[in-house]
Amino acid sequence: MNILVFGETGQLARELARRGGGDQMTFLGRDRADFADPAACAARVTESGADAVINAVAYTGVDTAETHEALATTINATTPGAIALACAARGLPLVHVSTDYVFDGAGDAPFAPDHAAAPLGAYGRSKLAGEVAVRAAGGVHAILRTSWVVSAHGANFVKTMLRLGGMRDRLSIVADQVGGPTPARDLAAACIGVARGLSADAAKSGTYHFAGYPDVSWADFARAIFDQAGLACAVADIPSSDYPTPARRPLNSRLDCSETETVFGIKRPDWRVSLRAILNELGALQDG
């Protein structure tokens, strides 16, 4: 399969480049696809020889989106909508990655794909608008919501904890936000699998969830990172109210991923296994 990927240097795009397998992939970085220019991105689809498209680009600044919502909406909604229309015109399946932030985080049950969306902030609103635009295009698509993406690349929780845990003997970490850490390498494999599934059966179009298991708090995730990395850094549990941020975070980021397994045969990955691979790549895995 010839897959056109929007994105080149982000966590997901870099792992897609590693896991392409027998697929031919073309990656579009900012120099070839400016996500602030919807028409230009749509043109890349129109002129491509792709069999499928994966959108691995997003404005992910949850806090900065509060003061730059227009830009976040362009990148997360307007441009994906234009790409989706171009895909629909050519009959190309589109895999569009979204987020748990479209939900309000209420309760403690995993959110099903058809649960009512109610984002808490600008980032979530922009991503929800992107979902609406992709669906409205009317083409073959899968909106794949995920959470807490980590890898050996870019800025993410694992790398932050390694940096801070190497400098301090104690950290206070939020313990009332719970979700599924998702290794980017597993997300990449899922995106490819979903793209193949859509190509084989357009009736599989819809909204799906993919996140790592088991669900865990940020504090317990930090403990697991320190344990595997062999860092003697204690973790003190604190509530979100003790760590105020410009944008509200959902307390419950659990995602019900059962439909993804039923339709595509893609199971939730154990993030603890992939964490070892990430730490090994970073040279931070404790021997023995």
The type of residue at 221 is F
The answer to whether the peptide bond before residue 214 is cis (omega within 30 degrees of 0) is yes
- CA separation for the pair 217, 173 (Å, rounded): 9
Catalytic residue among 101, 123, 208, 213: 123
Under 8 Å between Cβ of 199 and 142: no
**Radius of gyration in angstroms for the set of CA atoms belonging to the chain, rounded to a whole number:** 18
> CA-CA distance, 172 to 249, in Å (whole number)?
17
Beta bridge partners of 171: 235
* Active site (annotated) includes residue 123: yes
The helix or strand, by DSSP H or E, that contains position 278, with its residue range, turns out to be helix 271-282
Catalytic residues: 123
